[in-house]
């Protein structure tokens, strides 16, 4: 599904990613761990096609297609979902209206008609029920006054609605209390299937108690320095990262 080959990327002429290789198949859950500043968020941003980064070498291939020339929106339409893609507060735009627009834009990009209102409503209710999201939440203004847990709930709801092939969840360091972790984990566990893949980026082993990864990769100083199974996360918790430097 996703192949990352010898990926090098820079920002402001500073090389951050120094040759990343990853091979992610449908149905797999990969965790990327590593100390602060190792390049985890950069890797997710580069896969999503954010334009602040310059890819200087290597490639990102989704289902056999090199994404080099695809803009972030095109990648999203091809099935790449990056959490925190829409962290902005939009007063007056509800959680529901925002996702309706995103869904219909995606359909338009594929040459499809807008989803009829009735079907949209049905889909929204189905996904909200699956994730045990209160209907009232759906009519809140996007991100306005959201708690950490509510931001996560919104993200997971967006992911459920967009049904990505590849979901990348960059669990940045802030705002992830245990409730928020559980919202993310329950959502991911409900949404994963044999046809999609999930990449969870975290520097907390804790999250991986709830989302059990098939593979764990350690990113350090722009390189994957070790890969293993879920037991590697426990080893990192016990020993820290220093032994890998
Ligand atoms: P992580 O997510 O693992 O904490 P990041 O990908 O956020 O790491 O950052 C990796 C490195 O890139 C850090 O040294 C950081 O300072 C640097 N970096 C990230 N964004 C920028 C930027 N916009 N300008 C300059 N350096 C940056
Ligand atoms: Mg960081
Ligand atoms: Mg980060």
CATH number at residue 94: 3.40.50.300
Question: How many whole angstroms from its chain centre is CA 117?
Answer: 28
pLDDT in tens, 60-119: 999 999 999 899 999 999 999 998 655 677 788 999 999 999 999 999 988 999 999 999
Nearest CA to ligand 1 atom 16: 37
CA angle 90, 75, 57 (to 5 degrees): 120
Give the three-class secondary structure for 139: coil
State mean pLDDT over 168-182: 77
Give the three-class secondary structure for 134: coil
pLDDT of 173? 56
pLDDT of 100? 95
Give the highest mean pLDDT range of 52-56, 141-145, 147-151. 52-56
- CA–CA separation, 142 and 128 (whole Å): 16
Ligand 1 atom nearest to CA at 219: 3
Of the chain, the end-to-end C-alpha distance in Å amounts to 30
Ligand 1 atom nearest to CA at 44: 6
Q: Which of these ranges, 39-48, 146-155, 212-221, has the smallest mean pLDDT? A: 146-155
pLDDT of 144? 86
> Which of 36, 37, 83 gets mutated to test ligand 1 (max ligand atoms within 8 A of its CB)?
37
Rounded to the nearest whole angstrom, what is the distance from the C-alpha of residue 37 to the centroid of ligand 2?
5
Query: Is the CB of 37 inside a 6 Å radius of any atom of ligand 1?
Result: yes
State mean pLDDT over 110-137: 94
pLDDT of 230? 93
Contacts of 202 (CB under 8 A, 6+ apart): 31, 32, 33, 171, 208
In this structure, which long-range contacts are made by residues 71-74, counting pairs with CB atoms below 8 Å and at least 24 apart in sequence? 72/48, 73/105, 73/109, 74/49, 74/109
> What single DSSP character describes residue 221?
T
- CA–CA separation, 117 and 174 (whole Å): 37
Place 194 in a pLDDT band, splitting at 50, 70 and 90. Answer: very high
Query: Is the CB of 106 inside a 6 Å radius of any atom of ligand 1?
Result: no
Closest alpha carbon to 8 in 42, 50, 51, 48: 42
- Provide the domain count of the chain: 1
- CA–CA separation, 125 and 44 (whole Å): 30
Place 175 in a pLDDT band, splitting at 50, 70 and 90. Answer: low
> Helix axis angle, 95-109 relative to 148-162, nearest 10°?
30
Rounded to the nearest whole angstrom, what is the distance from the C-alpha of residue 134 to the centroid of ligand 1?
36
Nearest CA to ligand 1 atom 22: 11
Give the three-class secondary structure for 244: helix
The ligand minimizing its distance to the Cα of 171 is: 3
State mean pLDDT over 41-51: 94
Nearest CA to ligand 1 atom 11: 37
- pLDDT over 80 at 155, yes or no: yes
Domain that holds residue 67: 2-244
Ligand 1 atom nearest to CA at 36: 4
Q: Which of these ranges, 60-64, 173-177, 218-222, 231-235, has the smallest mean pLDDT? A: 173-177
pLDDT of 3? 98
Query: Is the CB of 222 inside a 6 Å radius of any atom of ligand 1?
Result: no
Nearest CA to ligand 1 atom 15: 37
Report the complex ipTM: 0.94
């Amino acid at each position: 599904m996703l192949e990352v080959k010898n990926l090098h990327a820079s920002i402001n002429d500073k090389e951050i990613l120094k040759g990343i290789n990853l091979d992610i198949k449908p149905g797999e859950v990969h965790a990327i761990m590593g100390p602060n500043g190792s390049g985890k968020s950069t890797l997710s941003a580069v896969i999503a096609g954010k334009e602040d980064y310059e890819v200087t070498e290597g490639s990102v291939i989704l289902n056999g297609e090199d994404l080099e020339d695809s803009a972030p929106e095109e990648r999203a339409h091809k099935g790449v979902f990056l959490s925190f893609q829409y962290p902005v507060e939009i007063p007056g735009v509800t959680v529901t209206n925002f996702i309706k627009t995103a869904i219909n834009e995606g359909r338009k990009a594929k040459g499809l008609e807008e989803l009829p209102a009735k079907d949209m409503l049905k889909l929204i209710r189905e996904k909200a029920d699956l994730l045990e999201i209160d209907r009232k939440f759906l009519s809140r203004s996007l991100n306005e006054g959201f708690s950490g847990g509510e931001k996560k709930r919104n993200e997971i709801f967006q992911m459920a609605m967009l049904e990505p092939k590849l979901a990348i969840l960059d669990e940045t360091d802030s705002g992830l209390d245990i409730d928020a972790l559980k919202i993310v984990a329950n959502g991911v566990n409900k949404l994963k299937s044999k046809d999609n893949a999930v990449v969870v980026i975290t520097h907390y082993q804790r999250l991986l108690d709830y989302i059990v990864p098939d593979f764990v990769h350690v990113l350090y100083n722009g390189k994957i320095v070790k890969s293993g199974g879920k037991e590697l996360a426990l080893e990192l918790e016990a020993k820290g990262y220093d032994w890998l430097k």
